[in-house]
Amino acid sequence: MKRILFVCTSNTCRSFLAEYIFRDMLEKADEEGKLNRKDYKVSSAGLFALDEDEPGALAVKVLEKVYGIEDSDKHRARLVDDDLVADSDLIITMTDAHQQALEEAYPEAADKTFPLKELAYGEDGLDGSLDIEDPYRGDDEDYERCAAEIEKALKLAADKIISK
């Protein structure tokens, strides 16, 4: 089983959105006979997460409204820890700074840790940026824009994510 971990700051928005959007993509690919969803374990965590913190209400709303994902409100944030890093085959961060912080705390994870935009667009990311902007304290449009940016990057990076 391939274990994929998405990481951001608090695990209530970006990594949470990436986890649920990617799970949805895997479900659809499974229905189309392209892969077996059971071959993948997808999760998320935050570098500074408060364990059991609820996801952002606007992030949940976007998943329901745009993607038809109805159970995301059950998600609870969790902190990145030694076991989670060791148990992950691929760690995908939402920013370059997240990658750097992970690699500093877990040097053994350097070969399996990448910003999402690097996987999608190459070493320079999109327009020179490897960061997915945090919509925290933003409005519905900010969260929808963030989810769309994550989805686009996930679609572009899907083959790399599955094969890494």
26 CB contacts (<8 Å, ≥6 apart)? 35, 37, 40, 42
Active-site position among 53, 73, 96, 134: 134
Q: Indicate if 124 belongs to the active site.
A: no
Residue among 8, 23, 24, 146 flagged as catalytic = 8
Beta bridge mates, 92: 6, 114
Known catalytic residue at 14: yes
What would you report as the CA-atom Rg of the chain, rounded to the nearest whole angstrom? 14
Distance set, CA 68 to CA 71, 103, 163 (Å)? 9, 35, 27
Catalytic residue among 14, 23, 24, 131: 14
CA angle 79, 107, 94 (to 5 degrees): 50
Which residues are part of the catalytic machinery? 8, 14, 134
